[in-house]
Structure 1
Amino acid sequence: MNVLTVVSHPRTNSFTFAIADRFMQGLRDAGHETELLDLHRSGFDPVLWEADEPDFSGKRKIYSPEVEAEMERMRKHDALAYIFPIWWYSMPAMLKGYIDRVWNNGFAYGSSKLHHRQVLWLGLAGASRDHFRKRNYDGMIERQLNVGMAGYAGIPNSRVEVMYDTFETTPGHHERLLSQAYRLGLHYAEIKGDAAHE
């Protein structure tokens, strides 16, 4: 597979980027190709402007040059991975803005759907699994990403993986999470997503 790996974090020395590096190493070791899109360092503007809201009734929509370039980048890959910290029980504003602008009407939904067959959403959470499950935050995130986004955009195989307790300092904990990220890359083709079309 050719996987577009999109990372959203303001700091390159963050654990998010360490996880992304290990994940991509797993992809490469499994024989996949991958391209890293670092949303912050790429200079991507997450703000949706009028240029990216073309007439919904038009057959051929033309978006801003920046968004057209990102759509073309997506067309070159047959699978996707998004790696990000979970802030306020959701994705960061930078990544949400990217989705808003690039997964646009006429490209990802509406008259056309995404051609990608698989997507992995890999979120890093500072809180524990019990904290998330107490109020079903994990279920909320999974439904939003698997059903409300991937399913709506036509991706049949969507999976959410949450890495919990990223602030934990117990010896070996971070290395276990890094090993988990590597395995997710190594076995990316085998990942079976949750139902995206409920």
Structure 2
Amino acid sequence: MNVLVVVSHSRKDSLTFQVTDRFVQGLTEAGHQAEIVDLHEIGFDPILRAGDEPDYTQDNQRFSPQIETEITRLKKHDAIAFVFPLWWWHLPAMLKGYIDRVMNNSFAYGSNKLHHQQILWIALAGVTEEQMNKRSYGDSIQNLLNVGIADYCGVTNSKVEFLYNTVEAPPEHYEELLNQAYELGVNYASTSAEQVTT
């Protein structure tokens, strides 16, 4: 399987990038191919400007050069993985902008849908699993990403994987998180993702 790994973090030395590297290592060792897209490194502009605003009167909308480049990149892959820190129980602004601009009308929804076999969302959470579940934040996030985005774009095989307690944890915990990321890569194609219903 050819997997596009979209990563959103401003620092290369972040845990997010360490998780990305270990995830890709797992993918590779399982026989998959992977391309990493670092949204900060490519200078992605997350602001949805007038030229890329969805035009529902068009069945095949043309977008700005940057977005056409990213659409072409997505078309070359069988599956997608997003790796990101969870901020305010949501996607970072950079990644939210990527969703807004790239997964756009007439490409990802509307007259066309995404062709990808599955989407995996790897969310690094500063809180513990208990804190995440206290007010059902996890359920809300999973519903947003699996149903509100992936399923709306035609990908019913979508799963959110939380990596918990990423702030001020002992070194052995960080190694456990990296091992978790590696296993997600190794088992990417065989993992039974959440089958969502609308």
Tell me the TM-score normalized by structure 1. Answer: 0.98
Identity of aligned residues (%): 54
Q: Match of 2:142?
A: 142
Offset of residue 191 of structure 1: 1.2
Offset of residue 168 of structure 1: 3.7
- From the superposition, tell whether residues 54 and 83 of structure 1 become closer, same or farther in structure 2 (CA, over 3 Å): closer
Indicate conservation of the 8 Å contact 2:55/2:105, yes or no.
no
Does 1:128 find its partner at 2:131? no
Distance 2:196 2:21 in 1: 27
Q: Match of 1:195?
A: 195
Does 1:111 find its partner at 2:81? no
Aligned length: 198
Offset of residue 53 of structure 1: 1.8
Q: Which runs of 5+ in 2 are unaligned?
A: none
Tell me the TM-score normalized by structure 2. Answer: 0.98
Distance 2:92 2:68 in 1: 22
Q: Secondary structure at the match of 1:189?
A: coil
Indicate conservation of the 8 Å contact 2:6/2:36, yes or no.
yes
Moved more, 127-136 or 48-57: 48-57
Offset of residue 196 of structure 1: 2.2
Q: Which runs of 5+ in 1 are unaligned?
A: none
Q: CA RMSD in A?
A: 0.9
What do the CA deviations read for 1:70-99 (whole angstroms, capped 9, x no partner)?
A: 000000001000000000000100000000
Q: Secondary structure at the match of 2:189?
A: helix
| Runs of at least 4 residues off by over 6 Å | none
Q: Match of 1:46?
A: 46
Q: Match of 2:81?
A: 81
Offset of residue 54 of structure 1: 5.0
Indicate conservation of the 8 Å contact 1:155/1:196, yes or no.
no
Distance 1:123 1:14 in 2: 14
Code of the aligned partner of 1:45:
D
Distance 2:191 2:76 in 1: 21
Moved more, 131-140 or 55-64: 55-64
